[in-house]
Structure 1
Amino acid sequence: MKTDEKYIPALNFDWLTPLYDPLVRWLMPESKFKSQLVRQACVRAGQRVLDVGCGTATLTILIKQTHAEAEVFGLDGDANILEIARRKAAKAGVSLTFQEGMAYSLPYADASFDRVLSSLMFHHLTPENKRRALVEVFRVLRPDGELHLADFSKPNASLPEMFREAGFERIEESARYKTLFGALSLWQAKRL
């Protein structure tokens, strides 16, 4: 699904996209918080997992490497970054399905996934699009499905309320990390 909708590229400028991975690794505890996000998701064999706003697929690849028996999908609105993601996945030797699309208009059927993960994407969305995205995530999750999200705390201060509005329960901030850009929170929420 090609999208003509506007999105904010990684690092805010298309020309910086190739530098995204080395800069994030250098400036943040990326490996630590993404590993924690994957651990807290407790993915089981045979489950379907979606990485919303997958970017260069660092998290998507980690999910598949950690849970080889899961079916893992990555979605992003940036066709250029998805090409980087595909090359990284091929180099890592993992089989992933990538699709172009927006978080607030997910191109998947209702109740398609057991887990949805997202890392460093939500702060790019307007408050209205955050709400729309959470409603969409809730829609594509199966009953007992879970959302696991890592993002900066400050622009997402109202996330717990937005989770509840979308229908999620058992909402918890599970970890917080200090970064050069401010606090980064890990969240989990469940669709009952």
Structure 2
Amino acid sequence: MSTTVRILDHRTPEEREREFLPGMGKPWLLPFYDLFSRRVGARALHERAAALADVAPGQSVLDVGCGTANLALTVLRVQPAARVTGLDPDAGALRVAARKATRRRVPITLVQGFADRLPGGDGALDHIVSALALHHVPEEGRVLFAREAVRVLRPGGRVTIVDFGGTDRSGHGHGGHDRRGPGHRAGHGTPRGHGRPRGHGQADLVRLLADAGFTDVREVEHVEHRFGPITFVQATRP
């Protein structure tokens, strides 16, 4: 099996000027990202997302908002015969991801780009996964992401998302009136600081995917995390 690790640039000239919110809120905090991720127990979330995705040998997977590729590498550990691509706007995070994949001798393609314009032709992918990333994307970007997910997935392909949100104990959607979460940008404005994630709620994710044309859209699991409720949402491309 080839262990090629590639970094590709999917951005248009206009997208090269777009701002984004780094995983830790500030670029200089990137060296601490994986340590922070381990300390807050993100590995268990990645492992559960990979298990729920249930990728088969030879299937193609796109990890949207991959960061340093923790979820993508978990998918490859669970299913070494998968063909995995990670997408993220942060070049620094992708370089860290490439070093990790090289050390582990696993093949992966890493793409610099944005969630609202996914790499891949129509019907080219079997799975889309995403972990703790979409709450960084503004509302209009999430809508475009959902439409793009329908485009790039084959019929019967699935999307598995884990993010902040879910149903609180009172039965109401989490996140209050404003569910945009930290790092929301009005249009292409400056990202806000990285505060406590509030999420956009599982109801928003379910509605987002259903409105884009997915079927069998549902919250499959919900966990209480130290930073707030976390939801696992899955959907199928008809």
In which range does the TM-score fall when normalised by the shorter chain? Answer: over 0.9
The CA distance in 2 between the partners of 1:140 and 1:6, in whole Å, is: 24
The CA distance in 2 between the partners of 1:18 and 1:130, in whole Å, is: 27
Amino acid at match of 1:174: V
The CA distance in 1 between the partners of 2:33 and 2:161, in whole Å, is: 19
Q: Does 1:11 align with 2:24?
A: yes
| 1:167 Cα offset (Å) | 0.7
The CA distance in 1 between the partners of 2:219 and 2:38, in whole Å, is: 23
Tell me the matched-pair count.
191
Match of 1:25 in 2: 38
Deviations 1:43-92 (A, max 9, x none): 11111111111100111111111111111111111111100000011111
TM-score normalised according to structure 1 size: 0.96
Match of 1:156 in 2: 200
Identify the structure with the greater helix proportion. Answer: 1
Q: Would the aligned equivalents of 2:205 and 2:233 in 1 still touch at CA under 8 Å?
A: no
TM-score normalised according to structure 2 size: 0.78
Structure 2 residue corresponding to 1:70, chosen from 82, 97, 106: 82
The CA distance in 1 between the partners of 2:19 and 2:228, in whole Å, is: 26
Deviations 1:17-42 (A, max 9, x none): 11111112112x32222111111111
The CA distance in 1 between the partners of 2:205 and 2:131, in whole Å, is: 14
Deviations 1:120-151 (A, max 9, x none): 11000111111111111111110000000010
* Structure 2 unaligned spans of 5+: 1-9, 166-174, 176-198
Which region of structure 1 is more displaced relative to structure 2, 142-151 or 103-112?
A: 103-112
Task: Give the ranges of 4+ consecutive aligned residues of structure 1 lying more than 3 Å apart after TM superposition.
Answer: none
The CA distance in 2 between the partners of 1:75 and 1:64, in whole Å, is: 15
Match of 1:186 in 2: 232
Mapping 1:41-190, distance limit 5 Å: 41-153=53-165, 154=175, 155-157=199-201, 158-190=204-236
Root-mean-square deviation (CA, aligned residues, Å) is 1.1
Amino acid at match of 1:151: D
The CA distance in 1 between the partners of 2:36 and 2:25, in whole Å, is: 13
